[in-house]
Structure 1
Amino acid sequence: MLRIAICDDEPRELDILCEYIKEYLNIQPWDAVVKTFSHPDNLLTAIETESFHVYILDIVMPMHSGLELGQSIRRISREAQIVYITTEPGYALDAYAVNPLHYLIKPVEKQALFSTLELAFSKVDFGREITVTVKNKKGLRTLSADQIAFCEYKNHAVRYTLINGEQVETTTLACGFAEHIAPLLRDARFLSPHVSFALNMSRVEKLTREGFYLRDGDFVPVSARQYSTVRNAYLNYRLSREE
Structure 2
Amino acid sequence: MIRIAICDDIPGDLQGLVSLTNQYLSTNGLDAEVTGFSHPDALLTAIEAESFHLYILDIVMPMVSGLELGKEIRRFDREAQIIYATTEPQFALQAYAASPINYLIKPIDKQQLFDTLPLALSKADLADEQPFTVKTADGLRVIKLSNISCCEYHRHAVIFSIMSGEEVYSRSFRENFSEYCAPLLQNRHFLQCHTSFVINMRRVERFAKDSFTLYGGKLVPIAAKRYPAVRDAYMDYLTAKGGNR
TM-score band, normalised by shorter chain: 0.7 to 0.9
Aligned length: 243
Deviation at 1:56, TM superposition (A): 0.2
Asked whether 1:63 is paired with 2:63, we answer yes
Correspondence for 1:54: 54
Distance 1:26 1:241 in 2: 29
Correspondence for 1:144: 144
Pair 226,118 (structure 1): closer, same or farther in 2 beyond 3 Å: closer
| Amino acid aligned to 1:22 | N
Cα offsets for 1:176-220 (capped at 9, x unmatched) = 111222332344543333211222344445567774454435443
Distance 2:79 2:242 in 1: 13
Pair 181,103 (structure 1): closer, same or farther in 2 beyond 3 Å: same
Deviation at 1:30, TM superposition (A): 1.9
| Amino acid aligned to 1:124 | A
**Contact in 2 for aligned 1:75/1:241 (Cα 8 Å):** no
What is the TM-score of this pair, normalised by structure 1?
Answer: 0.81
| Amino acid aligned to 1:159 | I
Correspondence for 2:111: 111
Gaps of 5+ in 2: none
Correspondence for 1:18: 18
Deviation at 1:239, TM superposition (A): 8.1
Distance 1:62 1:23 in 2: 28
SS class of match (2:34):
strand
CA RMSD of aligned residues (A): 3.1
Asked whether 1:5 is paired with 2:2, we answer no
1:94-243 correspondence to structure 2 within 5 Å: 94-127=94-127, 129=129, 131-137=131-137, 139-204=139-204, 211-223=211-223, 225-226=225-226
| Amino acid aligned to 2:67 | L
What is the TM-score of this pair, normalised by structure 2?
Answer: 0.80
SS class of match (2:100):
coil
**Contact in 1 for aligned 2:129/2:144 (Cα 8 Å):** yes
**Contact in 1 for aligned 2:59/2:67 (Cα 8 Å):** yes
Identical-pair percentage? 52
